[in-house]
């Protein structure tokens, strides 16, 4: 099974209100949506860059994985999301090849996508997210 595309790049920020003007006003990107993902305790802003999105992630509590990331590493690139067609099959293929998964089963993420993260120790220090969207969008 192959990866279809880079779906999005997740960037951890302390505040969407502070960070968003850089992306919209300075870089000229369009904000195409915002939502809260309660299960991950984050508020998300989506910015369109060609066929790829930038996903700004603001923690909603100190218990959010994004809050932990910012505390340890500061604001910046959090993950790269890879678009796939059959996430359950892809998870199994990765596990069969010795890749450690953070999520053994897909779960709902931002934009209604099914997601699962690979452990960065299995990916040379990079946090990769598998992302399956309805209709392959």
In whole angstroms, give the CA distance from residue 13 to residue 121. 23
Structure tokens at 48: 């369109």
pLDDT digits (tens, 9 = 90+) for 28-40: 999 999 999 988 8
In whole angstroms, give the CA distance from residue 121 to residue 38. 27
Share of residues in the chain with pLDDT > 90 (%): 89
Structure tokens at 69: 């990331």
In whole angstroms, give the CA distance from residue 5 to residue 43. 24
| Residue 107 clears pLDDT 80, i.e. is over it | yes
Share of residues in the chain with pLDDT > 70 (%): 97
What is this structure's pTM?
A: 0.91
């Amino acid at each position: 099974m192959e990866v279809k595309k880079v779906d999005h790049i997740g960037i951890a920020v302390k505040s969407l209100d502070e960070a968003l003007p850089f992306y919209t006003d300075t870089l000229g990107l369009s904000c195409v949506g915002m939502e809260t993902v309660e299960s991950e305790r984050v508020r998300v802003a989506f910015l369109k860059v060609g066929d790829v999105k930038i996903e700004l992630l603001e923690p909603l509590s100190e218990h959010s994985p994004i809050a932990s990331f910012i505390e340890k590493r500061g604001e910046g690139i959090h993950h790269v999301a890879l678009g796939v067609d059959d996430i359950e099959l892809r998870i199994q293929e990765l596990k069969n090849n010795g890749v450690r998964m953070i999520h053994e089963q897909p779960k709902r993420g931002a934009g209604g996508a099914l997601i699962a993260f690979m452990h960065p120790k299995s990916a040379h220090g990079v946090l990769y997210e598998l992302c399956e969207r309805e209709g392959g969008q």
